[in-house]
Structure 1
Amino acid sequence: MAVRPSLAYFPSDNALLESSGLPWGVAVTPFSSTDERGSSPVTGDEGDLIPRCTSCFAYFSTLCSLHRWSWTCPICSEDNDLSADAAARYARDGSHDPPELRSAFVDLLLPGEEGEAAAATTPVYVAAIDLSSSEEFLELVKSALLAALEALSPGSLFGILTFSSKIGLYDVQGPITIVKNVFIPPDSDGTLHVDLKDVMPFCSFLAPVGTFKDRIAEALETIKPIASWERATTASQVQDHALHHTRGFGVAIDALVNYLSVENGTTFELARIFAFLSGPPNYGAGQLDARSNGDHNTGKVVDSNNTLLPEETSFYKNLVHVWTFSRLQMNTLILLP
């Protein structure tokens, strides 16, 4: 993965960033074969020995503060104890340090059940796209995903899921692209009336990139904002019009994690979910009350002092435990003005 900041120095706090008047951001290339310096990853076969933070589950890395019998997580500042084996592993001199101490860019294998290095599992990538957004937002999402498709290996599996007041699953492997929708009940506690596995089997939802890359690209181009094709035309459709900007993000992601976790084999281990969210979730389980901050749609300006909302629900914190148990990885792109 390559990480490139827009400035050579990071602002120490938000006040300094605001007063400088300079644009600040970070470009992340998750599928890059080299890091931002052009270096290849340091490899090894002891991925199971790397300690993880007990609070946020982040892996130990060169960014952590290492002590004799403990280490400090740079993500959440949690102090974690080191086992005797881990302490001995990190007590080596510089010439014999393990990979995670030699570089911030490592590629390690996990052992199999018999203790040998596990064979590479099939990479799985799922794009979860917010339809309650603007045309500009979706064009940006499509451009990012089309570029990502070019970087994926031919053997990778790719799935497209959309969400608003309903969840859409895309099947690109037939003669024409098929989208099957599941409506999210407004009072849902996080569950659907129908499981996604009953709506579409894995073999239809996850398409091999090498065979169906063009079909996946075509399917992405057909995605439109929900307001562009579900406009209210009569007074009786006021409720439908109100659903144009509903984001059932919590229910959709919970259902997707459960969907990918049905298989107990290695096929869906470490599946990566890329969620593209254009505003705060406001429908179904996991919704946030953002009324005090106005409409956060990407087409409107929001006061920068009010964009960070306080924690209102433990729904997503609880999902973290499910993701960790299922060995799923999730990246979320939130675009707000």
Structure 2
Amino acid sequence: MKLDFTLKRFPINGRLKEQSGLPFSCVLQPYHRLPEKETSAGDASGTRSNSIARCAQCYSYINCYCVFDTAGWVCSLCNRHNALKPQQQKRYRLDPTVLQELPEVRSEVFETLAEDPIPVPMPALEGSPAAQQDPGYVSGPAPVVVALVDTAAGEEFLELVRSSLEAALEALPPVTRFALITMSNRLGLHDVRASEPSVRYVSLLEPQLRPGASAAAAAASSPAVACPLSDVMPLSSLLAPVGSFKGAITRALEENMVPEQGFGETSDAEASGSGAAVGPSGAPGQEAAMSRNSGGDAAPGGGVGARSGRSGGGHLPAARGLGPALVAVLDYLKVLQSPAFASVKTPDSEGGLSGHGSGASAAAVVGADHLSQNPSPVKLLLFLAGVPDFGVGRLV
């Protein structure tokens, strides 16, 4: 790897950099062949990367631009003084002769061995006894990918999103936990662990303006959703391992991710009288899945408030509440940064449950559902079709 800077000296702070008016930048060439002299000087292949000192503030590695003193070294990037840890004192003895022999100190570019990766066991294959016993079990700090999709949009936009997410599913490691959340003037939590993929909806709220209070104060004091998302569906039930539930996730993308009811309508649209067909009682906020192919007919195992059609029916036109959606989803994901809860059996799990989505599995999982004690890396994918026009952060 080759790293070239436009200048050999750097300003001590950002203010001085702006005043200089000079283009400070660098060119990074990861696979550039270095001259033999530089290659030999920067050969640290016999050293593990965790043995090389790093800055306690910016985490940059020690390098040839750092300044050493009797108490430690000064980071060349953030100017923080770092004391040498006891295990580092043997390597970084304050002897100029010894220091100049270290590859990371004498060369601008050095190569070292990375730390051994932490092995993450693969999930059980679909249909195997282990998968039937607990289809959601994944051990280790599995990565988490959450897709937040704007459904206040047309079918053409959603088809592009489906193609993108299906391609991403093929590229993701099987241990990745995936969640699908749709957004308009309500949030839809897609339960793909159930025998029939379903959606549970939670209404987003506009901030309540009070006399004399600013809009910012109203937004900070008003809830973003009608009820916490964790009360509607535990995060452990929403997250599904890609290796075991890829088919169910794909089916949810194809059948349940549809344009929001009322998309393209105006607020003064007349009610068509279709009404709401109430199905069997289910979990709070749960609605039956609506297929693109069936024109909105309720899927088996319907829930509360399943509409008989995809548009019309006396409802408000679809809106785009990006602000409250982000507030609710980010608050929902906080559990991933907390210590994991244990997986337990509920009293009803032995007798079997029905009609409550993922709660019908033989091993009812609560809390963080086998999440590692280490914080899981989370990626939030946002697919936005237009300008936010509802709730906190609305632009129109």
Alignment TM class, shorter chain as reference: 0.5 to 0.7
Give 2:242's aligned amino acid. V
Q: Give the drift of 1:157.
A: 1.0
Q: Give the drift of 1:92.
A: 2.0
Larger % of helix: which? 1
The match for 1:82 is: 80
Q: Give 5+ residue unaligned stretches, structure 2.
A: 1-28, 32-44, 68-73, 85-91, 93-101, 119-138, 208-218, 273-311, 341-370
Distance in 2 between residues matched to 1:170 and 1:191, nearest whole Å? 19
**Native 8 Å contact 1:190 1:284 kept in 2:** no
* Partner deviation per Cα, 1:116-137 (whole Å, 9 max, x = no partner): xxx9511111101111123222
**Native 8 Å contact 2:192 2:240 kept in 1:** yes
**Native 8 Å contact 1:128 1:160 kept in 2:** yes
The match for 2:202 is: 182
**Native 8 Å contact 2:144 2:177 kept in 1:** yes
The match for 1:128 is: 148
* Partner deviation per Cα, 1:283-327 (whole Å, 9 max, x = no partner): 112x233x4xxxxxxxxxxxxxxxxxxxxxxxxxxxxxxxxxxxx
Of 236, 243, 249, which residue of structure 1 is paired with 2:322? 249
**Native 8 Å contact 2:192 2:249 kept in 1:** yes
The match for 1:265 is: 339
Distance in 1 between residues matched to 2:52 and 2:329, nearest whole Å? 26
Instruction: Give 3-state SS (helix, strand or coil) of 1:84's partner.
Output: strand
Distance in 2 between residues matched to 1:197 and 1:107, nearest whole Å? 37
Distance in 1 between residues matched to 2:382 and 2:258, nearest whole Å? 16
Q: Give the drift of 1:151.
A: 1.2
Give 1:279's aligned amino acid. G
Of 189, 193, 203, which residue of structure 1 is paired with 2:226? 193
Give 1:288's aligned amino acid. R
Distance in 1 between residues matched to 2:260 and 2:53, nearest whole Å? 44
Of 270, 275, 278, which residue of structure 2 is paired with 1:234? 270
Change (3 A) 1:214 1:47: farther
- Higher Cα Rg, which structure: 2
Q: Give the drift of 1:91.
A: 6.3
* Partner deviation per Cα, 1:152-211 (whole Å, 9 max, x = no partner): 121221110011100110101111111000001122635323111110012320111111
Q: CA RMSD in A?
A: 4.4
Change (3 A) 1:124 1:46: farther
Distance in 2 between residues matched to 1:220 and 1:204, nearest whole Å? 17
Q: Give the drift of 1:273.
A: 1.2
Are positions 1:146 and 2:166 aligned together?
A: yes
* Partner deviation per Cα, 1:57-110 (whole Å, 9 max, x = no partner): xx769xxxx7765566xxxxxxx4334259x899623388477xx9xxx99979
Distance in 1 between residues matched to 2:166 and 2:178, nearest whole Å? 12
Are positions 1:214 and 2:247 aligned together?
A: yes
Change (3 A) 1:214 1:121: same
**Native 8 Å contact 2:148 2:183 kept in 1:** yes
The match for 1:15 is: none
Runs of 4+ aligned structure 1 residues displaced above 4 Å come to: 42-53, 66-72, 88-91, 95-99, 106-110, 227-233, 235-241
Change (3 A) 1:71 1:216: farther
**Native 8 Å contact 2:205 2:225 kept in 1:** yes
Instruction: Give 3-state SS (helix, strand or coil) of 2:377's partner.
Output: coil
Give 2:156's aligned amino acid. E
**Native 8 Å contact 1:45 1:108 kept in 2:** no
Distance in 2 between residues matched to 1:173 and 1:276, nearest whole Å? 23
Range 229-238 or range 263-272, more displaced:
229-238
Normalising by structure 2, we get a TM-score of: 0.46
Give 1:94's aligned amino acid. S
Instruction: Give 3-state SS (helix, strand or coil) of 2:196's partner.
Output: coil
Distance in 2 between residues matched to 1:203 and 1:45, nearest whole Å? 34
Of 152, 161, 166, which residue of structure 1 is paired with 2:181? 161
Q: Give the drift of 1:262.
A: 2.5
Give 2:166's aligned amino acid. L
Distance in 2 between residues matched to 1:198 and 1:49, nearest whole Å? 43
